[in-house]
Copies of this chain bind each other. A is one copy, B any other.
Amino acid sequence: MGRTRIRDIRHEELINATITAVHKRGYAVVTMAEIAAEAGASAASINYYFGSKEKLMEATMRRLLTLLKQAMLERYATAKTPHDRLMAVLDANFSDRLFTNEQCSIWIQFWANAPYAESLQRLHRINRSRVTAHFRAELRALVADDRRETLREALQCYMDGVWLEAAQSDAPLDPAQARKEAREVADLMLKSES
């Protein structure tokens, strides 16, 4: 038997509702009732499934991290060269699935609140370390030792900065365009090496 399927369904529904509600109202002011309404449920049911508002937020952030990890692994599977794999990291960050107004918005808000919530901070650090490690690994074959860290940090901060800017825009984002620009930036930086 499938075990309690209902539990998984509600988890998914409520996390999606959280993403939408936080995007609409802001992390600072969104209420349990608003999130519940977004999912067509009651505030009490959120506590039934997640225990507390904080745990719901943690689960939501974990979901976002999982999506990013998946997007990265998908693209890694087909990438052959270090250059391809570097681009895979960039493409993953700006994939159609992730680079949306809703997700950029909520991502920045979790980010801003990470220093004040142990659980969010932990997740944020894990994620950043993973991206850093990927960049370092691929740049090893592409860039001389003395420039590698400068280039890595530049690229990583650039990606973060693009998300930050995207979170401010209310016009729909264009992931394909973002990928193109990211590649241009990366190639611009790599070119000064060869």
Listed in ascending order, the chain A residues whose CB lies under 8 Å from chain B are: 25-29, 105, 108-109, 111-116, 121, 124-125, 128, 147, 150-151, 153-154, 156-162, 164-165, 167-168, 170, 181, 184-185, 188-189, 191-192
| Given A157-B162, A161-B156, A161-B164, A150 contacting B181 (CB threshold 8 A) | yes
**Chain A interface main SS type:** helix
Pair B168/A114 contact, Cβ less than 8 Å: yes
What copy number does this chain have within its complex?
Answer: 2
Q: Does A115 contact B165, Cβ atoms closer than 8 Å?
A: no
B151 touches A188 (CB 8 A): yes
Chain B residues lying within 8 Å of A181, measured Cβ to Cβ, are 150, 153
CB distance from A107 to the nearest CB of B (A): 10
**Smallest CB-CB separation from A107: which chain B residue?**
B112
